[in-house]
Amino acid sequence: MVARLMIFWNLSRNENSVIKEVDKMNNEIKIFEGNQIRSVWDNDKEEWYFSVVDVVGTLTDSKDPGAYWRKLKQRLKEEGSEVVTFCHGLKLKAADGKMRESDVADMQGIFRIIQSVPSPKAEPFKMWLAEVGKERLDEIVDPELTIERALETYLRKGYSREWINQRLQAIQVRKELTDSWQDYGVKEGLEYAILTNEISKAWSVMSTREYKDFKGLKKQNLRDNMSTTELILN
């Protein structure tokens, strides 16, 4: 399999075709008051989906939001509530780094769930959701806003402008590369990981996991913890 994938990669390096828009589900992490909310943007439906467990955990500060949601979900079903019909399963990255199926809901569903969870954070969270939705719609109209917001985020985190410029260039290069992989039939997930590991080994003699271990990283994004030189090589 590696040999076949490396052929795809070598072909993509020489590909000069125009970048194509790829319809897929884009996984992102949103932050509300320091809490991570796993989110998925559906390009086809132009709709956000949010992890219900993450939302419930944020609203309740529960130590076991998964158990809280299971009990709430069961109670809503017994009451004949339509809220649970807004939920469906999607694979999201779990705490252990693996993709696991989890309940998600679109904005309408999340608003309905919020009404079932007594929380002083309910109103601020609704306002935050509305802003998240507005930002994405703004970015569809003006894609440059995506870059501007990424720039602002990295500046707030204390990165230098030199590093940020290199990071944004690396994101664009990665996007071009994965677009080419898709054009040649490479499947997102395992095959992407295999190719990414081969690229990592080519310049660092380490796989992506080994390089994260070398840097003492666990859940953190590897590229966000690279130097400017590492970003150029990667």
My answer on whether 48 and 125 are in the same domain is: yes
Q: What is the dihedral of CA 83, 84, 87, 89, to 10 degrees?
A: 170
pLDDT (0 to 100) of residue 67: 94
Mean pLDDT to the nearest integer, 211-223: 81
pLDDT (0 to 100) of residue 60: 93
**What does the buried/exposed string (b/e) look like for 126-149 if buried means 16 or more CB atoms within 10 Å of the residue's CB?**
eebbeebeeebeebeeeeeeeeee
Last residue of a domain, one of 141, 157, 191: 141
Residue 107, CA distances (Å) to 26, 68, 112, 127 in order? 16, 20, 9, 12
Q: Model pTM greater than 0.75? A: no
Q: Give the domain range for residue 160.
A: 2-20+149-233
pLDDT (0 to 100) of residue 24: 45
| pLDDT band at residue 56 under the 50/70/90 scheme | very high
Q: What is the DSSP letter of 207?
A: -
**In whole numbers, what is the pLDDT of the chain averaged over residues?**
78
Neighbours of 182 (CB within 10 A): 17
Residue 171, CA distances (Å) to 82, 114, 195, 211 in order? 41, 35, 16, 19
Percent of the chain with pLDDT over 90: 12
My answer on whether 88 and 71 are in the same domain is: yes
Position 171 pLDDT exceeds 70:
yes
Position 226 pLDDT exceeds 90:
no
Last residue of a domain, one of 141, 162, 189: 141
